[in-house]
Amino acid sequence: MKNDSRSLVRVANRQLVLQQLFNHPATTRVDIARELKINKSTVSAIYNELNDEGFIEELGQGESTNRGGRKPNLVCLNKRYGFVASFEIGTGHLRVMFSYINGEIISYEQIALEKRDMLLIMQTIKEVLQKMEQNDDTIHGLLAIGFSVHGIVDHNQIVDAPFISTNGIDLAAYFENEFHVPTILENEANLAAIFERDFGDRESYRDLLAISIHRGVGAGIIANQQLYRGFHGRAGEIGRSLVVGQDGQLVKVEALCSEDAILTQIAQAKGLDNLRPARLYELYRQHDETVIRVINQAMGNLQKLVYDAIVSFGPQAVYFDSPLFDEMPELYQHLRDWLQAHQIDIPLQMIKGSEMASLLGASSMAIHRFLDMDRYSLTLKWPKSVSNIK
C-alpha cells in the first residue's frame, strides 16, 4: 500500500513539474522547487527524468542573485518533444492544423472537399497525417489527434451532428488503431472556449462563454476553469432554444440567426439555388437591400439569444467565434453596443481568425490527453494569426 501511495505522489509531482514548464517561458530547478514547495532532490530527480525523455530545452545561464553565487541554468519546455494534429470537417472543407506540444502552430491549411463522403474524408486525413510524419522534425512525432465537431459529442462519440454523417463510423477508434495515439472528439463551441482558457496571457477568467455562430449557434461553457458539458454533452446548445417564428409557429432560434439561416433566407429571397459565404460578404459590402434586411432581422434574434445566454450562465467574459464577424466586424460592433446598452457590463470580445479557434482548442485537448493532465491548467503559445478584439 505504501509503495502505491509513493507512486501516486511521484506521478502527481511529475505532472506539477511539467505544469511549471508549460506555464513559465523560462524557469530553473530552484524556481520550480520553490513554487511547488517540493524539496530540491525530488525536483532534480523528476527534472533528470523529463530531460532524458526530451521535455526540457536548456536556454543558458540566468542572472545571479544579489548575494552572488553561481548563475542558474534557465530551461523551458522543449516544443520539439512532439506534435499533435487537429481537424475540423466542414460542409465543403477540411481544416487541418499541426502544433508542437507547447501549442505553437506548425502548419494550417484548408482542403476543399468535392464530396461529403466520410470514407473519402478519412482517407484524406490519413494521407495528411502520413505526409506530416514523413516530414516531422520532433523527437517523438505524433502524440495525439483532436477533432472539432459541429454537433453534440458524448464520451468521445458523435451523438448528433446535423451537418455531417459519420455513417456509424467510430472516428476515435479508427484513428487510434491506425496511428496508436489518443484521439479526442469535442464540440467546436466547447473547443473555442478551451482555446480562450488555455492560450496566451490569461486574464484569470474562471468562468467564460465562447459563443459560436456558424451553421448553427452554440456556446462553450467554462465554469471554474473546467469545461462544462452537461448531461450527454448537451450543455450550451443555445441555438436549439425555441422562439416564435414569423408564421406564429415555434422554431429553433438558430433557424433565424445562424450563418446557415442567413444564407438560406437570402438565397430564397433572391430565387437562388444556393448562396456561398463569399458572395454574401460581397453583396453586404455593396449594400444590397435584401441582404441588409435579412441580416438585420437575424441580428435582432441573435442579440436577444446572446443576452439570455449571458444572464443565464453568468460568465465573467464572453468571446464570439464567427466567420460572419470576421468578414463583417461592424455586425459584432452593433451586437456589442446593443448588449452594453442593455446593462451587460462584462468584457466582450470577438475572435479574429475564428476559423482557427476550435482547432487550437482541439490541440490543447490533445496535448492534455497525451500528458494525462486533463484537469491541469497549462498555458499554451498564443498564435500570431489570431487576436481578440474588444
User: CATH number of the domain that 299 lies in?
Assistant: 3.30.420.40
Same domain? 188 vs 88: yes
Task: Calculate mean pLDDT across residues 52-67.
Answer: 79
> Of 77, 110, 128, which one is at a domain's C-terminal end?
77
Cβ pair 137, 80 in contact under 8 A: yes
Grid cell for residue 12: 502527481
Dump pLDDT digits (tens) for 344-357. Answer: 999 999 999 999 99
Grid cell for residue 273: 439555388
Closest of 133, 85, 156, 90 to residue 355, by C-alpha: 90
Grid cell for residue 353: 481568425
Grid cell for residue 300: 435582432
Closest of 212, 242, 381 to residue 221, by C-alpha: 212
Same domain? 294 vs 250: yes
Q: Residues, the chain, total?
A: 390
Cβ pair 239, 254 in contact under 8 A: yes
Range of the domain at 33: 10-63+73-77
In a domain, 68, yes or no: no
Same domain? 134 vs 173: yes
User: CATH number of the domain that 43 lies in?
Assistant: 1.10.10.10
Dump pLDDT digits (tens) for 302-336. Answer: 999 999 999 999 999 999 999 999 999 999 999 99
**Can you give the pTM of this predicted structure?**
0.93
Same domain? 102 vs 155: yes
Q: What's residue 1's pLDDT?
A: 41
Count how many domains the chain has: 3
Strands, E, within 27-66: which ranges? 56-61
Task: Order the strands of the 142-149 sheet from edge to edge.
Answer: 105-112, 93-100, 83-89, 142-149, 183-187
In a domain, 5, yes or no: no
